[in-house]
Amino acid sequence: MAPRAPQVQEEAGYPRHPPRMGFFTDTSVCIGCKACEVACKEWNRLPADGPFELTGMSFDNTTQLSASTWRHVAFIEQRKPVRAPGGPAGDQQDLRWLMASDVCKHCTDAACLNVCPTGSLFRTEFGTVVVQDDVCNGCGYCVSACPYGVIDKREDDGRVFKCTLCYDRIGDGLIPACAKACPTESIQYGPLDELLERAEARLADLHGDGVPDARLYGNDPADGVRGNGAFFLLLDEPEVYGLPPAPRDATRDLPAMWAHAAVAAVTLVCGIAVAFAGSRRAG
């Protein structure tokens, strides 16, 4: 059954809201086991992605997030001299794997939610963005609006699907299936403020261990989507992981676009009116 938009509980006239919840994915400890992919598929009863095929992308057989893959583990093989975390200064490695479990970002400014004409997408009381698949009409506006390319349609019925951050689980006080299954705690779930503090501390540790390329991604409230509910610690540039370096909510430009269109329309009408009045005087 599709998740339903929540009813806000009130006590003594004041609405009660839990803290915003989210994911912190620390790619530096991801071992590429794909336990998160399997747990996500099993809990959410997602269909298979078709026959197993070698993609040529290391051990990556799902290639990207889709309507049937809400967690995707990427494998990036690099030949780049790097020092192992905690190792001596002369300990250089020529080949390394970068592994990262990607997921919907649950943006603060969620373009998918802003363009949905049916209310299929809604913001939960946990600050996450969820699709009600039985309300989706398959228009696809959200697919093109998402700056991360997360949302996808299923070919059999045309409706869209994506990560719900296990809305049915966290509403009962459980943690999402992917975070529960992760053996290295690469995927961490909790109040977003606490996760941000934890991530900053982890980043400082890596920099202190001689990993200068480590960085946080998706945690900046001043970026084009005002920060994400799911953010990452990366060991290289975002583009290496297939992530946009400067994501932006395109719906931010809609008011200005409509204002320009209105000015153009008024100018056109005034021009027609002046031309018509001039032709009448000439006649």
Binding residues for [4Fe-4S] cluster, by number, are: 30, 33, 36, 40, 104, 107, 112, 116, 136, 139, 142, 146, 163, 166, 178, 182
Annotated binding-site ranges: 30, 33, 36, 40, 104, 107, 112, 116, 136, 139, 142, 146, 163, 166, 178, 182
* Contact call for residues 233 and 202 (beta carbons, < 8 A): yes
Closest listed residue to residue 230, CA positions, set 108, 131, 98 = 108
Which residue, among 213, 241, 249, has the nearest Cα to 72 in the 3D structure? Answer: 241
Q: What are phi and psi of 27, to 5 degrees?
A: -70, -15
CA separation for the pair 208, 198 (Å, rounded): 15
**C-alpha triplet 74, 169, 241: angle, nearest 5°:** 15
DSSP 45-77: TPPP-SS----SSTT-SS-S--SS-SSEEEEEE
